[in-house]
Amino acid sequence: MSRQHISQTNSYIYTSHLLRFNSIQFNLIINPPIITTSYLLQFHCLFVCLIMDGKKLEYKGEEALKEIERLTREAEKVQQELLKEIITRNKNTEYLNKYMTMNDVQEFKQKVPVITYKHIYPYIQRIANGGEDSSLISGHPIVEMLCSSGTSGGEPKLMPTIAEDLDRRTFLYNMIMPIINQYVTGLDEGKAMFLYFVKAEMSTPCGLPARTVLTSYYKSKHFKGRSHDRYNDQTSPDEAILCDDSNQSMYCQLLSGMIHRQQVLRLGAVFASALLRAISFLERNWVSLCNDIRTGKLSPVITDSACRLAMSSILKSADPRLADEIENICSRRSWKGIVCNLWPKAKYIEAVVTGSMSQYIPALEYYSMGKLPLVCTMYASSECYFGVNLKPLCDPANVSFTLLPNMGYYEFIPLGKDETYGNEDDDEDISLNKLVDLVHVKTGCYYELVVTTFSGQFFITFFKNTCCYLQLRLVCNQKLLINT
């Protein structure tokens, strides 16, 4: 099928957080916002529990690619079934009962309004602070509150989430390697050095965990109990990833990566900024890291018992030769190409380098001498995981993400070329008659995305192939506050 690209302009569509997803298969091209940013929130108020098709999460190889093809080919059907399931599961919620009596799709589309975060926040407060039942807004128990990274005022927003949301995120993660394996071979013959971190979490007054979406995932059974996969053999031990002390976590993860430097075939972090922080940390601590390798003893600065125990199986004995190799590289006057020098077999760098993270591309190219592709694999936010990059080796400026129709129900608000719909503080009602189903969007038009179930954050510039894929490209975001 043809994939006609439409040039990007300076126009933009602002992000909305909505609890109402509309369906369609098509491709939009977006330079996405990063997962930890917060934007304008709007909600078709309804927190939902969505099941994965057949409850299957671990698609592998060709099977995963066929599943993506099936989902996009049958997008309209997938979306319609999804919306019916959303309504069925949440028909008894207090919020939905304000607007619906028949509990069918048409009634939902005609009566459930699009609202801003501030309108749903009182319900969230009643659950988080007052301990009221989840049935205020969800047909299933709310198990935790996900914290967005912050808004223009610096205050994170709380997003209720249910247990099955982790299934959905896991499903999307499991689609990544089958896609990359089409373009990069031999990744099962070595290791991945990905630097992952958790953040401190809090509890709401009623005892619900309040944490970032990544911290939620890394501390879940989905991550900690994952089966061994030779395509995802990582250098970092889970104990280091889960360490609450970011400095100890970084130290142990870098030490592990350096010990396995000849086996590392890919490296990265969730965000480009995090990878650059790691390089800066390495500049300050390489002498100590080399000393650990040379003596076979972990630095006393690592006091976390779980980290020390995990590292004892990695730092097994003294290796003066490896320490000398690393010292020779790190003591050079210039660190240009340091990534390629330390990990000579690496085939690409994986990190978010689109949207606001694009400012870090020159630095990453400097440290890799421009030899390693910068790969963005997926498009996600605290509120919803949306889709995957089917061309992971493309230039960062051309990154697009295929929206998967089983991740949420999508609708679109048509906008003019230079139009935005408003901002979070506006009380303007959005006409439900304006909402366009996924299968009815038009090539070359600008839309604001409306999502039902979690919440949506991105900007749409165009779509193509109404019966196959939805690809998105971010043009710009409003009220962006990066918290890395």
Determine the average pLDDT of the residues in 13-29.
32
CA 50 → CA 209, 326, 408, distances in Å? 21, 49, 8
The answer to whether residue 4 is domain-embedded is no
Q: Is 70 exceeded by the pLDDT of residue 159?
A: yes
How many Cα neighbours within 13 Å face the side chain of 56? 9
Three-class SS state of 53:
helix
Domain assignment present for 317: yes
- Residues paired with 210 in a beta bridge: 145, 202
Q: For position 360, what pLDDT does the model report? A: 97
Mean pLDDT value across residues 140-150 = 84
Residue type, 477: N
Token pair for 391: 């061309």
Instruction: Indicate whether 122 belongs to any domain.
Output: yes
399 alpha-carbon distance from chain centroid: 15
pLDDT at 469 over 70: no
Please check the confidence at residue 20 and state whether its pLDDT lies above 50: no
330 and 416 inside one domain: no
Looking at the structure, tell me whether residues 160 and 194 fall in a common domain.
no
Surface-to-core class of residue 315, CB atoms within 10 Å of its CB (0-12 exposed, 13-18 middle, 19+ buried): buried
191-215: average pLDDT: 95
Rounded distance between C-alpha atoms, residue 250 and residue 364, angstroms: 18
Tokens of 286: 């390489």
| Domain-terminating residue out of 297, 325, 346 | 346
For residue 31, being part of any structural domain is answered with yes
On whether both 396 and 305 belong to a single domain, the answer is no
Residue 333, Cβ density class (10 Å: 0-12 exposed, 13-18 middle, ≥19 buried): exposed
Does residue 313 lie within any of the structural domains?
Answer: yes
- Whether residues 195 and 327 share a domain: the answer is yes
Considering the domain architecture, whether residues 238 and 333 belong to the same structural domain is answered as yes
Least confident stretch, 24-38, 52-66, 373-387, 434-448: 24-38
How sure is the predictor about 216, in pLDDT bands with cuts at 50, 70 and 90? Answer: very high
Inside any domain, residue 482: no
The predicted structure's pLDDT at residue 118: 79
Residue 178 located in a structural domain: no
Per the model's pLDDT, the better-predicted residue between 153 and 155 turns out to be 155
Residues 193 and 342 placed together within one structural domain of the fold: yes
Residue 242 lies in a domain: yes
Please compute the mean of the pLDDT values over residues 306-310 and round it to a whole number: 98
Residues 132 and 201 in one domain: no
Same domain, 160 and 206: no
Same domain, 198 and 151: no
CA atoms within 13 A on the CB side of 399: 29
pLDDT band at 117 (very low <50, low <70, confident <90, very high): confident
Examine the pLDDT at 319 and tell me if it is beyond 90. yes
Question: DSSP of 370-409, one letter per residue?
Answer: T-S-EE--EEE-SS-EEEE-S-TTS-GGG--EEEPTTS-E
Find the domain containing 413 and state its range: 27-164+384-472
Query: Where among 288, 316, 346 does a domain terminate?
Result: 346
**0.85 surpassed by pTM:** no
Instruction: Looking at the structure, tell me whether residues 395 and 454 fall in a common domain.
Output: yes
pLDDT band at 114 (very low <50, low <70, confident <90, very high): confident
Query: Which of 319, 346, 373 represents a domain boundary (last residue)?
Result: 346
The answer on 453 and 327 residing in a single domain is no
Q: Could you tell me if 160 and 198 lie in one domain?
A: no
Q: How many domains does the chain have?
A: 2
